[in-house]
Amino acid sequence: MKIACFVEAYNFDALISERNALLEFKSTAEAMGHTFEFIFKEDITRIQEYDSLFIRATTDPNNSAYIISRLAEQAGLKVIDDPHSIRICSNKAILHDLFLKNNIPSPKSLLFTGDYSRESLDNIFNTLGSPVIIKTPYTRFSSHVEKASNETEFIEISKRFLRKSKILILQEYIQSDFDWRVGILQNKVLYLCKYCFPGGGWKVKSKINGKNKWGDTIPVPRECISSELKEISINLSKCVGDGLYGLDVKETKDGYKVIEINDNPSIYHGYEDTVDKDIYEKIINALVS
C-alpha cells in the first residue's frame, strides 16, 4: 500500500524526538512492505495517488491539514485524522456538549459570551467555585487555558480571551498532580502515559518564572490501565470515531474527569513509545486495513 504522511517543516525542525518518531513510522511501514512518503502542502493535488493518508501536521479546521483530510476522504483514501474527528476534537465548546450528552465524567462547565452583569458573575462562581478555568475553544498546548482566582482576575483574563474568540469555556478547577494521557486507536487503548506538570505549575506546559516549561512524560504499560479509565476512554472515543486519539483525564477522589479528547495526539520517540513499542506497527496496520 502507498501511505502518504502529511507534515509541515516544523514537524521535523522543532523537536528531534518528533523527527525520530516520524522516521520510525517510515521504517516500520517499509519493513511491513508498504511505501511511506512524507508529503507537504504543495503535494495536496496529488493525494489520490495514495491509498492512505496519515496526518502529523497540526490539524484545525483552518489549516491545510483539514483540507487534505477532506480531499483524501473524498478520493476514497483511508485517513487518520479523518475530517469528522478533526471537527469534533478541535472545538472545546463542541466537546463540552458531547461530554454532557454522552454522560462522560468531566469538569462542570459553562459557556461564556461576555455577560458581566452581577447575576452572571455570581452564577459563574456559585456554579464552578473558585478558581475558575477559562479557555478559548481552539487552544492547543495549553496556550489559552488560564486560572482566575477571583472576579478581578476573571474579568481581566476573559476580556483578553474574548478578543480571540466570541465564546469561551469556563470550568471548575480539578486539582491533580498529573494528567493521564490515554492513546486510543480503533477504540482500543494504544498507549498510556502520565503527563506531569513542571515544578510549581498546574498545566503540562506552564510558565515558570516567565519561561515556558514542559513537565515529564512517564510511560505506563497499557495493560496497567484501570478498568474504569479504560471504559471511560473507549466510551468517549466511540462518540467521535475509530481513529487515533489522545485523551487528557484527571484522577480525583471523586473518580476520573475527562478534560479533552484530541485528534492528532503527539507521538515523540522516547516518550509515548517507550513501553508499548508496537504503537508504530499498530498505527500503520490501521492505515492499511
Ligand X SMILES: Nc1ncnc2c1ncn2[C@@H]1O[C@H](COP(=O)(O)OP(=O)(O)O)[C@@H](O)[C@H]1O
Report the residue number, 97 or 248, with the smaller CB distance to Mg ion.
248
What CA–CA distance (Å, rounded) separates 121 from 223? 45
Question: Is residue 194 within the footprint of Mg ion (CB under 5 A)?
Answer: no
Binding-site partner at residue 173 among ligand X, Mg ion, none, CB < 5 to 8 Å by type: ligand X
114-153 core/surface letters (b: 16 or more CB in 10 A; e: else)? eeeeeeeeeebbeebeebbbbbbbbbeebebbbbbeeeeb
Q: How far is the CB of 140 from Mg ion (least distance, A)?
A: 8
Tell me how far apart the alpha carbons of residues 81 and 70 are, in angstroms, rounded to a whole number. 10
Residue 114 per-residue DSSP state: S
Q: Does residue number 24 form part of the binding site for Mg ion (CB under 5 A)?
A: no
CB of 204: closest distance to Mg ion in angstroms? 7
Residues 219-258 that bind Mg ion (CB under 5 A): 248
Query: What number of other Cβ atoms are within 10 A of residue 170's Cβ?
Result: 22
Q: Which does 198 bind (CB under 5 to 8 A by kind): ligand X, Mg ion, none?
A: none
Instruction: Rank residues 29 and 89 by Cβ distance to Mg ion and give the closer one.
Output: 89
Question: Could you tell me if 6 and 39 are in contact, meaning their C-beta atoms sit under 8 angstroms apart?
Answer: yes
The length of the chain is 289
CB of 177 to ligand X, least distance (A): 11
* Cβ neighbours, 10 Å, residue 109: 21
Query: Counting contacts by CB under 5 A, is residue 206 touching Mg ion?
Result: no
Q: Which is nearer to ligand X, 73 or 153 (CB)?
A: 153
User: Does 202 contact Mg ion by CB under 5 A?
Assistant: no
Give the footprint of Mg ion on this chain (CB under 5 A).
Answer: 248
